[in-house]
Chains A and B, each alone.
Chain A
Amino acid sequence: MIKLYHGTTSVCAIKVRLVLAEKGLDWEGEILNLQQGDQHTPEYLKLNPNGVIPTLVHDGNVIIESSIILGYLDEAFPAPPLMPTDPVLRARVRLWMKRVDDVLHAAIGVVTFATANRKVLIRKSPEDLAAHFARIPDPAYRERQRQSVEMGLAAPLVETAVRQYDKAAAQMEADLADTEFLAGDSWSLADAALTPYINRAEMLGMEGLWADRPNIARWFTAMKARPTYGPCIEDVLSDADRDRFDVPRDETDARLREILAA
């Protein structure tokens, strides 16, 4: 039996939902509300001491870290295969997953907190907002969130995030030059990993990143056309989610262009 602890909009959860869907697996879900701090309850921390989603439990075995969950699912359920057979292309898949973990995850978090989440958080009283930040265990993450919420799109972290995304987009464009997918001719864990990060970028108004990158545009259109895309990404959004992400996209677009033109 597969159980996934996840969240509606969580980029890391989307990665896993996409793979579960592409593998045709049945699973039970438990939605955590991150805005309300469900990830910090003692019960959840017993499963995932890092207090983040998603967490997969398969026949009683707990697997954490979305990139590791992706690898686990591909190995525990080998059909259809989501890793290339060629070892060099396999390394390319892992490099994309690592880039997402090491760079893009923090980057899109910064822009999300500077726009969508900021919209919700600045409605809190100063005391409640301070308490919100105080609950965040990782000091580096706490500071990133604080700067993003306090300064919005003007935050220096936003400039860094945009530049990191731009570099990644340049690499995606190159990797997609001769192949349909990021690591060859089949959909792989690399495509699973990048889809939510490009989807989120678009939601926030960052599609200028691929205005002059036709390979990415072609790839993203193909990702959206897959039958799994709607059920895994758009259909799970609540009204509160849609409201939170109803942000002035043209402002993000303008800031993005300003940063990249400099």
Chain B
Amino acid sequence: MIELYHHNTSVCAVKVRLALAEKGVAWEGRYIDIIAGEQFTPEFAALNPKCEVPVLVVDGCPIRESTIINEYIEHAYPDPPLMPADPVDRANMRLWCKVPDDGLHFACADLTFAAHHRHRILTMSEADRAAFLASTVDPRLRERKTAAVMEGFATPFLRDAVQLNEVVFDKMEAQLGETRWLAGADYSLADIALTPYVNRVVMLGFGDDWRETRPNLAAWVERISSRENFQAAVNDWHPEELVTALRENGGRCRDDYAAAKVAA
């Protein structure tokens, strides 16, 4: 039996749901409300000491880390293949899969907290807000989250986050000028890995000019958004109010994002 402990909008959970949907694997969902702190229960910590979603549990065996979960899914369910056959192309695919793990993930959190979550968090009582910010297990993430909430785009973390995003988008634009998908001729785990992060930026409205500035990336966004797995893994888990809120909150920060792109 396959169980997935997950949350609706968590980027890493989206990654795994995309792979499961593409493979047509049936799974039972165990919803963890990370806004309410359900990831900190002793039961969940036993599955993942880092208290993060997603966790795939296969006949009682927990597998954590979304990049690793997706490699598991690929190996356990080889059809349809989500990896190139050639080892060189696989190495390139894995280099793309590493991009979120090497900084883009933190940058996405910075951006989302500064543009969107902070509005809700700043309405909390001081005690509740302090408790919420202190609850993040990873000390690096805790520091960045606090800065993003308390300072918004004014913190240097946001300048770095935006500029890292832009570097990644430039690399994607260049790659997609040479190959149809990130790791070659076929859709793969590389496209799956980048989808949630690019999609978050698109939902916030920061990719609105890509048809002119990054046409290859814009076309890739169209292609991944119209796949069946996107409907099942992304759209079905983003309620209308959230989609609207992300767009509106992102719209309010449009100038901040543009300024961060060029800040020293």
Contact = CB atoms under 8 A, between A and B. Distances in A.
A95 interface: yes
A253 interface: no
B94 A88 contact: no
Contacts of A58: 88
A72 B76 CA distance: 19
Contact of B94 (A68, A76, A91, A95): A68
Determine chain A's interface SS by DSSP, over half rule. helix
B64 interface: yes
Interface centre among A58, A91, A98 (most CB of B within 10 A): A91
A87 B95 contact: no
Contacts of B101: 98, 101-102
Given A88-B58, A102-B101, A65 B95 contact: yes
B68 A95 contact: yes
B91 A88 contact: no
B256 interface: no
Contacts of B221: none
B214 interface: no
B91 A63 contact: yes
A95 B71 contact: no
A91 B68 contact: yes
A87 B65 contact: no
B67 A98 contact: yes
A63 B93 CA distance: 11
Interface string A164-195: 00000000000000000000000000000000
B31 interface: no
A95 B88 CA distance: 22
Contacts, number: 52
Nearest to B83: A75
Interface residues of A, number: 20
A18 B217 CA distance: 39
A72 B87 contact: yes
Contact of B98 (A65, A72, A76, A91): A65
A218 B173 CA distance: 50
Interface residues of B, number: 20
A76 B68 contact: no
Contacts of B64: 95
A94 interface: yes
A82 to B, nearest CB: 13
A245 B209 CA distance: 53
Interface string B58-88: 1001011101110110011000000000011
B61 A88 contact: yes
A91 B71 contact: yes
Contact of B72 (A64, A88, A101, A102): A88
A90 B72 contact: yes
A68 B75 contact: no
B87 A76 contact: yes
Given A98-B67, A98-B101, A91 B88 contact: no
B90 interface: yes
A98 B94 CA distance: 12
B91 A68 contact: yes
Interface in A34-88: 58, 61, 63-65, 68-69, 71-72, 75-76, 87-88
Contacts of A101: 101
A232 to B, nearest CB: 22
Contacts of B88: 58, 61, 63, 72, 76
28 contacts: A63-B88, A63-B91, A64-B95, A65-B94, A65-B98, A68-B94, A68-B95, A68-B98, A71-B91, A71-B94, A72-B88, A72-B91, A76-B87, A87-B76, A88-B58, A88-B63, A88-B72, A90-B72, A90-B75, A91-B71, A91-B72, A94-B67, A95-B64, A95-B65, A95-B68, A98-B65, A98-B101, A102-B101
Interface of A: 58, 61, 63-65, 68-69, 71-72, 75-76, 87-88, 90-91, 94-95, 98, 101-102
List the 9 closest pairs (A to B, CB-CB), nearest first: A75-B87, A76-B87, A94-B68, A72-B91, A61-B88, A87-B76, A91-B63, A91-B72, A87-B75
